[in-house]
Chain A
Amino acid sequence: MKKEEFLRELRRNLAGLPKDEIDNRVDFYAEMIEDRIDEGLEEEEAVAQIGSVDDIVNDIAKDTHIVKLIKEKVKPKRQIKTWEIVLLVLGFPLWFPLAVTGILLCAVGYLLIWIFDIAAYAIECAFGASFIAGLIAFFAAYSDGVTNYLPLGIAVASLGGVFAFYNVCVVMTKGTFRVSKRIVTKIKAKIIKKGSN
């Protein structure tokens, strides 16, 4: 790929960033490519060493806070006109519930990622409760002069469950953290690219 083509492609894929940041980044990569060419590399080689535009966007997504990206996305590109404000106020009963629904849907979507973890923690709690209940049942019967080993057995087995399942919970939580981080990075990369693909 030629330098100009690469830079054009890069610029197109950074459309979701603030204007001055796009310029700065593109200038930065232009300089990087030119310095390599000055050193004796062929233009194509120099461009290849920089890596792919997708990788660059991904790196930027990892380093940029999502709030900053969303702010840039919702920022009006020009002054809002009076009639638009009037329309916004009049349309409030319509767009407000829609906005709330949208936010709730996002929240539900995020919760769904965690659904298996929540289930795992619920099972962990159930084992814990079963352990305590078993102990109470055993000692309650014991104080009444009855020695029934069944509840004690259940308590011990549940305690085993607590320990075994604790590791499952930890592994799952870590995994979900990683997955949700990756999803957020993907979303951020999408915002940066701003539908250029």
Chain B
Amino acid sequence: MDAQLRRGVLDVCVLVAIKNKDSYGYKIIKDLKPVLELSESTLYTILKRLEEGNMLVVRSVEFEGRLRKYYHITRRGLERIEEFKEELTELMKVYSFIAEERVL
């Protein structure tokens, strides 16, 4: 997949993974496993990028005597998911055009 497109898709996947409930690194990787294989270093980069883009906030929570980082989606993050869905509708039109090879 084209690097730019892949990055956009991965970002939104991670946002969706934390949308309904705050989540932590390992859980995000496990939750996304059925759809895509994500390495730790890739996830780190995505989380960092989303944090810098104000799409999520990080907070450390004590868990069994150690700190665990939880990621919480922001309003901007929720907006990004919706934006992406709209972009996807556009993209699906193009996709069906390509798939059907239907020339108007």
Contacts and interface: CB of A to CB of B under 8 A. Distances in A.
Interface of A: 25, 27-29, 31-32, 34-36, 38, 50-51, 55-56, 59-60, 63
Contact of B69 (A31, A38, A60): A31
B25 A59 contact: no
20 contacts: A28-B25, A29-B40, A31-B24, A31-B25, A31-B66, A31-B67, A32-B25, A32-B26, A34-B66, A35-B24, A36-B26, A50-B40, A51-B39, A56-B40, A59-B39, A59-B41, A59-B42, A60-B41, A63-B41, A63-B45
Contacts of B41: 55-56, 59-60, 63
A36 B26 CA distance: 8
Q: Is the interface of A mostly helix, strand, loop or mixed?
A: helix
Interface residues of B, number: 15
Nearest to B41: A59
Contact of B40 (A27, A32, A63): A32
B69 to A, nearest CB: 6
Interface in B18-39: 24-27, 39
Nearest to A39: B26
A130 B24 CA distance: 65
B68 interface: yes
A27 B67 CA distance: 9
Contacts of A35: 24-27, 68
Contacts of A63: 41, 45
A51 B64 contact: no
Interface in B38-55: 39-42, 44-45
Contacts of B64: 38
A63 B40 CA distance: 13
Nearest to A58: B41
